[in-house]
């Protein structure tokens, strides 16, 4: 039987009808063995890209095709590529292959609003609708080849001269002055110039053989070899987010690419953050597809990503495609990095230490991921200004910092899927925030399912020990202990899940894995010293997230919540899309009595994944301690709608209505709260002894409001038969008797008789 993969379950099995026997829901993923799509052989590049070791730094503007680019319009499966299949570039052990990390795309609405037919610019051609088309137009003078207009050269050598001219040779830079109407290769009629790059120029042409518009990339003779490599790289690629080659003309040489009007990847007015991140996720899909075929793009940047509108029968959608493969190279190439854009690539040397960056000596997939991280930093810049209290934006900042680490290259992402898993998690946090408030249940690849609710006693009736230990003050008042408390250290150790083997994480070997499992078992037994020894035996890199996770648990077991929080913050730096580290930070803050911080962490988890019950219980506890009784009750009632927590959260909602605890804000408890709790208790389906325990707490609240102990005395007497031993039974009966008001017999009202005197 298959196990349920929902984060709020993880323990049930799927029946023959496709539903979980515990949570009664369908699983998140489609069960059954995935259909493996074999990856084609990597294109045979004719040797290393550029035999010279001198680096060619492509200017930031190079390769920009602002007026439109060649892109593919169809793939074998819409929205899916062979790179999506776990069999492509997957780990050796099939059971460790995670579900596809692109799930964040399902959370984002990419539908475009269609402009009204009479709206300004509704039917303009792409060139008019594309802002900034001319700023990268090349000089039409064949002996010059420079790009840029005079008015885009402030402070340059031609400052003060007339705009609209080349900044170098002063030839008119109007794109219309290009080879308009010229026929190339006897079939492509040039309509206008689109842009220029380091290796040639691009023109929008009309193919009169096919009667359609195409993009013709005219390459310089000096880079004919590069053209062949780009052609060889593109000819075998079929992916919805990658440009597709249509033809190759040796005379020129020319690359013929399919044309779809679009603009460079940039934020537009009104763009939501999740839409921009979804575009980044689609580029990660394309990079994963490339890397599985042992290819590196090497020049990912906004100008090499085209953004366009894909029109369907019923709606139009915002899409992106990866273009310009002039710098493509094989992963087998052992030569240093040759072509790149300095603005988006990692620096060749660390600015502080002078150490060379490994991606320049022997590029890996990390180079493309770094460039994409830099691209997203630029595109999402306006959204990254929120403070640390905005958890989704803080998570995005951490994600992009990891992708573009300069001081510690080993901490960057090592695969597109690893990057995508965390980016999808960040998208989930973004769409869960107001005003979108879209929730998503997802099993964590790094942490698996969390089965314990960690309610800290809130989701059950008071233990009988509370009533046995109750005391009567000299003034006759009954005093009870706190109704609940933050989870104990052992409860936390038992509840927080041990990270399963991570398919994205290759640093944890079998020996380290065994040591970590033994460390977690020791923590659950309360053997903190042994756990520390086992963590040391695992010999993990001190900067890596598994080390920080277990070190945080050890610190928490030593009751050092501040030190534990520091370790969990380091986990968040490396896994910003995960919710379990946020939950751990909330538990640390609650145990450290930092209620505001605890509330921030708990709310972030609850708003993103309400079914993660430990966060909802924690939030309810903190809200009550802060004096927000109604909000605490509402939090528990929302959690009670989850099948798995229906009973425990229902009890918590009743108890929160009447709980009396020491708080930093005044709590007001009135008769209405008592009546509401009594009514809610009647609707709960719980055991008889639990019902008596909750009823006793309601009676205690009634006693606190009215001062009449009769109901409390009867409730305590009803609990006595459930005592574990005769001593507790005696104490409960004694408490009930002491709470019982003195009996006034009828004859006690008679006047005493006078004794006869003789």
The predicted-structure confidence for 80-99, as pLDDT tens digits, reads as follows: 333 344 333 333 332 333 46
- pLDDT of res. 714: 93
Average pLDDT over all residues of the chain: 79
Instruction: Summarize pLDDT for 320-333 with one digit per residue, the tens.
Output: 999 888 888 889 98
Q: Which of 435, 425, 430 is nearest to 390 (CA)?
A: 430
Top pLDDT among 179 and 300 is at 300
> What average pLDDT does the segment 614-636 reach?
94
329 neighbors 49 (Cβ within 8 angstroms): yes
Torsion sign across C-alpha atoms 144, 147, 152, 157: negative
- Whether pLDDT at 107 is above 60: yes
The CA distance from 570 to 588, in Å, is 14
Is the pTM higher than 0.75? The answer reads yes
- Whether pLDDT at 629 is above 50: yes
- Whether pLDDT at 742 is above 50: yes
Burial level of 56, CB count in 10 A (0-12/13-18/19+)? Answer: middle
Instruction: Summarize pLDDT for 257-271 with one digit per residue, the tens.
Output: 888 788 999 999 989
- Whether pLDDT at 665 is above 70: no
* Range in 55-59, 225-229, 235-239, 340-344 with the lowest mean pLDDT: 55-59
> What average pLDDT does the segment 351-356 reach?
81
- Whether pLDDT at 359 is above 80: yes
Confidence of residue 338 (pLDDT cuts 50, 70, 90): confident
- pLDDT of res. 448: 79
Q: Which of 702, 728, 726 is nearest to 714 (CA)?
A: 702
- pLDDT of res. 497: 86
Q: Helices 273-292 & 416-432, crossing angle to 10 degrees?
A: 160
* Range in 245-254, 523-532, 650-659 with the lowest mean pLDDT: 245-254
- pLDDT of res. 595: 95
- pLDDT of res. 145: 42
- pLDDT of res. 430: 94
- Whether pLDDT at 243 is above 60: yes
- pLDDT of res. 261: 84
- pLDDT of res. 635: 96
- Whether pLDDT at 641 is above 70: yes
Q: Which CATH number fits domain 464-739: 1.10.10.10, 1.25.40.10, 1.10.150.120, 3.60.10.10?
A: 1.25.40.10
Bridge partners (DSSP) of residue 264 are: 306
Confidence of residue 153 (pLDDT cuts 50, 70, 90): very low
- pLDDT of res. 154: 37
- pLDDT of res. 373: 97
> What average pLDDT does the segment 504-515 reach?
76
Confidence of residue 128 (pLDDT cuts 50, 70, 90): very low
> What average pLDDT does the segment 24-52 reach?
45
Confidence of residue 250 (pLDDT cuts 50, 70, 90): confident
Dump strand ranges (E) for 409-507: 471-472, 478-479
Q: Which of 154, 155, 152, 122 is nearest to 138 (CA)?
A: 152
pLDDT above 90 covers a percentage of the chain that reads 45
- Whether pLDDT at 503 is above 70: no
- pLDDT of res. 315: 86
- pLDDT of res. 7: 55
The CA distance from 52 to 222, in Å, is 14
- pLDDT of res. 137: 46
* 646 backbone φψ class: left, alpha, beta (φ>0; ψ -120 to 50): alpha
- pLDDT of res. 138: 47
Instruction: Summarize pLDDT for 414-423 with one digit per residue, the tens.
Output: 999 999 999 9
- Whether pLDDT at 41 is above 80: no
Provide CB contacts within 8 A for 118, sequence distance 6+.
none
- Whether pLDDT at 427 is above 90: yes
Q: Which of 627, 625, 621, 626 is nearest to 653 (CA)?
A: 621
Bridge partners (DSSP) of residue 138 are: 147
Bridge partners (DSSP) of residue 202 are: 195, 217
* Range in 350-359, 390-399, 584-593 with the lowest mean pLDDT: 350-359
- Whether pLDDT at 458 is above 70: yes
- pLDDT of res. 575: 96
Instruction: Summarize pLDDT for 477-488 with one digit per residue, the tens.
Output: 888 888 889 999
Report the b/e string of 103-134 with b at 16+ CB within 10 A. Answer: bbbebbebeeeeeeeeeeeeeeebbeebeebb
- pLDDT of res. 54: 35
- pLDDT of res. 610: 85
CA–CA distances in Å: residue 7 to residues 121, 603, 604: 47, 17, 16
Instruction: Summarize pLDDT for 594-616 with one digit per residue, the tens.
Output: 999 999 999 999 999 888 899 99
- pLDDT of res. 534: 94
- Whether pLDDT at 473 is above 90: no
User: What is the four-CA torsion angle of 499, 505, 507, 513, rounded to 10 degrees?
Assistant: 30
Confidence of residue 44 (pLDDT cuts 50, 70, 90): very low
- Whether pLDDT at 115 is above 60: no
Top pLDDT among 176 and 710 is at 710
Provide CB contacts within 8 A for 419, sequence distance 6+.
284, 369, 372, 373, 403, 413
């Amino acid at each position: 039987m298959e196990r349920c993969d929902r984060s709020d379950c993880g323990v049930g099995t799927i029946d023959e009808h496709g539903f979980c026997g515990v949570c009664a829901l369908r699983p998140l993923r489609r069960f059954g063995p995935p259909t493996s799509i074999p990856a084609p052989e990597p294109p045979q590049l004719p040797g290393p890209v550029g035999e010279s070791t001198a680096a060619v730094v492509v200017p930031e503007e190079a390769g920009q095709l602002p007026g439109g680019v060649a892109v593919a319009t169809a793939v074998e499966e819409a929205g899916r590529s062979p790179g999506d299949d776990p069999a492509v570039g997957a780990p050796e052990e099939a059971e460790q292959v995670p579900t596809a990390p692109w799930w964040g795309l399902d959370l984002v609405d990419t539908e475009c609003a269609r402009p009204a037919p009479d709206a300004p610019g509704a039917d303009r051609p792409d060139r008019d609708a594309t802002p900034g088309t001319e700023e990268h137009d090349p000089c039409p003078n064949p002996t010059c080849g420079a790009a840029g207009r005079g008015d885009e050269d402030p402070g340059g050598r031609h400052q003060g001269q007339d705009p609209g001219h080349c900044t170098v040779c002063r030839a008119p830079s109007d794109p219309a002055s290009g080879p308009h109407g010229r026929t190339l290769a006897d079939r492509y009629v040039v309509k206008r110039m689109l842009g220029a790059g380091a290796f040639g120029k691009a023109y929008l042409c009309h193919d009169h053989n096919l009667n359609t518009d195409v993009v013709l990339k005219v390459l310089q003779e000096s880079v004919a070899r590069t053209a062949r490599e780009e052609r060889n790289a593109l000819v075998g690629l079929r992916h919805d987010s990658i440009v597709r080659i249509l033809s190759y003309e040796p005379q020129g040489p020319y690359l013929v690419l399919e044309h779809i009007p679009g603009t460079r990847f940039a934020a537009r007015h009104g763009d939501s953050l999740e839409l921009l991140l979804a575009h980044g996720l689609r580029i990660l899909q394309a990079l994963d597809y490339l890397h599985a075929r042992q290819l590196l793009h090497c020049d990912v940047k906004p100008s090499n990503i085209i953004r366009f509108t894909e029109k369907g029968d019923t709606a139009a959608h915002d899409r992106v495609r990866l273009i310009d493969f002039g710098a493509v190279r094989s992963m087998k190439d052992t030569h240093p990095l040759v072509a790149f854009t300095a603005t988006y690539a990692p620096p060749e040397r660390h600015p502080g230490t002078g150490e060379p960056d490994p991606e320049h000596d022997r590029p890996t997939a990390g180079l493309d991921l770094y460039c994409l991280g830099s691209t997203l930093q630029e595109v999402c810049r306006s959204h990254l200004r929120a403070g640390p209290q905005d958890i989704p934006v803080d998570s995005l900042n951490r994600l992009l910092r990891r992708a573009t680490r300069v001081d510690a290259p080993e901490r960057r992402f090592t695969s597109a899927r690893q990057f995508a898993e965390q980016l999808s998690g960040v998208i989930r946090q973004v769409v869960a925030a107001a005003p979108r408030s879209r929730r998503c249940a997802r099993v964590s690849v790094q942490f698996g399912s969390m089965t314990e609710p960690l309610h800290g006693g809130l989701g059950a009736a008071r233990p009988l020990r509370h009533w046995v230990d109750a005391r009567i003050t000299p003034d006759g008042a009954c005093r009870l202990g706190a109704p609940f408390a933050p989870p104990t250290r052992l409860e936390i150790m038992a509840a927080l899940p041990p990270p399963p083997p991570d398919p994205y994480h290759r640093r944890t070997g079998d020996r380290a894995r065994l040591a970590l499992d033994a460390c977690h078992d020791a923590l659950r037994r309360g053997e903190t010293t042994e756990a520390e020894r086992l963590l040391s035996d695992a010999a993990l890199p001190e900067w890596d997230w598994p080390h920080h996770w277990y070190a945080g648990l050890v610190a928490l077991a030593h009751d050092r919540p501040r030190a534990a929080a520091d370790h969990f913050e380091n986990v968040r730096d490396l896994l910003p899309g995960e919710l379990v580290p946020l939950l751990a930070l909330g538990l640390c803050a609650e145990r450290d009595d930092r209620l505001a911080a605890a509330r921030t962490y708990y709310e972030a988890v609850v708003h993103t994944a309400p079914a993660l019950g430990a966060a909802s219980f924690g939030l309810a506890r903190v809200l009550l301690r802060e004096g927000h009784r109604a909000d605490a009750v509402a939090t528990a009632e929302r959690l009670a709608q989850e099948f798995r927590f229906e009973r425990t959260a229902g009890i918590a909602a009743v108890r929160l209505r009447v709980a009396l605890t020491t708080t930093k804000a005044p709590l007001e408890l009135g008769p209405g709260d008592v009546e509401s709790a009594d009514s809610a208790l009647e609707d709960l389906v719980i055991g008889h002894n639990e019902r008596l325990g909750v009823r006793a707490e309601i009676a205690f609240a009634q006693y606190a409001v009215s001062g009449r102990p009769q109901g409390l005395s009867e409730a305590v007497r009803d609990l006595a038969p459930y005592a574990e031993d005769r001593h507790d039974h005696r104490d409960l009966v004694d408490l009930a008797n002491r709470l019982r008001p003195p009996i006034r017999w009828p004859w006690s009202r008679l006047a005493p008789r006078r004794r006869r005197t003789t």
